[in-house]
Amino acid sequence: MQTPRTKISEALTLDPPRADLRVKGWVRSARASKNVVFIQINDGSSFSSLQIVVDKAIENFEAIKHLTTGSAVEVVGALIESPAKGQRVELKATSVKIVGKADDKYPLQKKRHGFEFLRSIAHLRVRTNTFGAVFRVRSVLAQEIHNFFQARGFVYVHTPIITASDAEGAGEMFRVSTLDPRDPPRDDKGAIVYDQDFFARPTFLTVSGQLNGEAFALGLSDIYTFGPTFRAENSNTTRHAAEFWMIEPEMAWYDLEDNCDLAEAFVKHLLKAALERCAEDLEFFNKRIDKGLIQRLEHVLNSGFERMSYREAVDKLAGSGRSFEYPVHFGANLQAEHERYLTEELVGRPTFVVDYPKEIKAFYMRRNDDDRTVAAMDLLVPKIGELIGGSQREERLEVLERTITEAGLDLEHYQWYLDTRRYGTAPHAGFGLGFERLVMYVTGMENIRDVIPFPRTPRHCDF
Ligand code: 4AD
Ligand code: MG
């Protein structure tokens, strides 16, 4: 019987000597001399590769001398203590099978490549050190999101991807339609007749699962979503993608302060889990991508997040003596430059800004007693800016009807949502955390395109 395969992450932890170990992976580099070939192979199970030593007694030694980077191989051999510096163990091969040869045009040769070039080969970049690490961290964080909420009795809800409601009221939705774009049915005024479309009404990809999440929270108390969301906003920045993943918890009986408390515990849980479970990958990011990363994450774990009102934030920005590109005054949207000044320079750690003017926030946020501000909260973090956006929700039917109308939205479309306020309305709150921004924060990667497997941004939908 063949010995089963051992993952490289495991092989690297075994105590030598161990005979008859079988590993499978892709060649990161191969260095041949007359009598011996050293091969580094990696199967993605760990950051480190395993060194394979092949000597000329191996039957296909000549072929192995010409082994190319990127090839898939299966190796059987003895795990021994490595006589050389650089690794604890190595595998002395007794057989090497070339499973899939990579031809010489394989674009990932040993030299370092720029991230921009690697984006053009997103189907292969996962075989590099950096992207292997990014996607292992991403996977661990995804699981920890469930761990955090499940341990607290939250119910995981799958909210729809196709929707007729604009949850943010910002009109940034991708249309979903089966009408023939070259010849859609039109009425006598020339307007497209959506009655004949698949859903017999205009439909879109969702920008947020929040409205559905609210309905579930007003029945299950504590829920969360974790799924893809879509925004047709034409912003070409390092922090915006047209398709991104969002986590949206929604809690009945929570007010804005409870909401901030939960968000702080959530972010800290995720940082702690990453430090514990992704130590080897984070060491790499700390050394090669973002010096000081680990220390910064540890510092955040051990300090309270700052909380300040929007008014206070505006006053501090105005009094900072800085000349910002966008001027600040009460009522102005905080731009990235303002957010970063607040969290990076003024406070030096994550900062909640709460109670924003109603004009710059969404219709569903609870109106404060001053009638000028809403119970909103954004969490700003160094290097990223806005990581979380959330609020207490407007639970009063008449106020909500008014804010929907004032936002220029069609009340008809929100009748089901308003039902949740007609039948047993209750105070509730929630927030949305952008998953890619979290992965950027934890890894120090600076471009959202480099933390999602196949990024979708304006004019880019490859792979
Ligand atoms: O602030 P946003 O728009 O809030 C909502 O969607 C609410 N419905 C959330 C809620 O209260 N349930 O988005 C939430 C977060 C932002 O803070 C940001 O981290 C991320 O989602 N985000 C994006 N991430 C990547 N690309 C984009 N285009 C993003 N837009 C928002
Ligand atoms: Mg926001």
Distance CA 93, CA 78 (A): 7
Q: Of the candidates 96, 93, 97, 98, which has an alpha carbon nearest to the alpha carbon of residue 19?
A: 93
How many whole angstroms from 356 Cα to the centroid of ligand 2? 11
Contacts of residue 438, defined as CB under 8 A and 6 or more positions apart, other chains included, come to: 141, 267, 270, 387
Q: What is the pLDDT of residue 121?
A: 97
Q: What is the pLDDT of residue 110?
A: 74
pLDDT one-digit tens code per residue, 264-307: 999 999 999 999 999 999 999 999 999 999 999 999 999 999 99
**Which of the four pLDDT bands, split at 50, 70 and 90, describes residue 51?**
very high
Q: What is the pLDDT of residue 171?
A: 84
How many whole angstroms from 321 Cα to the centroid of ligand 1? 30
**Which of the four pLDDT bands, split at 50, 70 and 90, describes residue 28?**
very high
Burial class (CB in 10 A: 0-12, 13-18, 19+), 305: buried
Q: What is the pLDDT of residue 170?
A: 85
Residues with CB under 6 A from ligand 1: 167-168, 208, 210, 231, 233, 240-241, 244, 246, 248, 386-391, 430-432, 434, 436-437, 448
Of all residues in the chain, the percent with pLDDT exceeding 70 is 100
pLDDT one-digit tens code per residue, 308-337: 999 999 999 999 999 999 999 999 999 999
- Is the pLDDT assigned to residue 401 strictly greater than 90? yes
Extended strands (E) in 33-154: 36-42, 50-55, 72-81, 89-100
**162-181: average pLDDT:** 93
Let me know: does 42 contact 26? Beta carbons within 8 Å.
yes
Q: What is the pLDDT of residue 144?
A: 98
**104-120: average pLDDT:** 92
Q: What is the pLDDT of residue 43?
A: 98
Q: Which of 233, 237, 244 to mutate to test the pocket of ligand 1 (most atoms within 8 A of CB)?
A: 244
